Amino acid sequence: MPLSVGDLAPDFTTKDQHGNPLTLSDYRGRKVVLYFYPKDDTPGCTAQACSLRDNYADLKKAGYEVLGVSIDSEKAHSKFITKYDLPFSLVADTDQSVVEAYGVWQEKSMYGRTYMGTVRKTFIIDENGLITDIIEKIDTKNHATQILT
């Protein structure tokens, strides 16, 4: 069953870009922007990450912590963060447990070929761990604005 506004955000523990454990429930008491994206260092994913980077001060001022999630490795995340000077953590969901829990691992198609992949989607989570908004139509170049308005 898909997640909805008002649901408790599924908790998870996985690794960040440094290989350190990262647990969502450790962020209780803070608002979280949990954004899912297909792949590090691709045009759309880079535009989205840079929108969040460029507006990070405003997101922090509004009380948000930002966490990006893809199935890429810690090493790929670390390179992506370094290359684009990203000020937030990226979650390495290499076993696809987080994308499955959030329902963003779905069938996609490109050039007539179907395959399973991560659908771009953002969950806004309040201080109590409840989902307060789900953004499904991501404007990669203006994603921070979508969150802040």
- Give the integer Cα–Cα distance in Å for 33 and 72: 19
> Do 11 and 101 form a contact (C-beta atoms < 8 A)?
no
Q: Decide if 45 is catalytic.
A: yes
Which residue bears the tokens 């390495």?
92
DSSP string for 43-109: HHHHHHHHHHHHTHHHHHHTTEEEEEEES--HHHHHHHHHHHT--SEEEE-TTSHHHHHTT-EEEEE
> Do 108 and 30 form a contact (C-beta atoms < 8 A)?
no
- Give the integer Cα–Cα distance in Å for 105 and 122: 13
Q: Which of 22, 32, 45, 81 is catalytic?
A: 45
Among all residues, which ones are annotated catalytic?
45
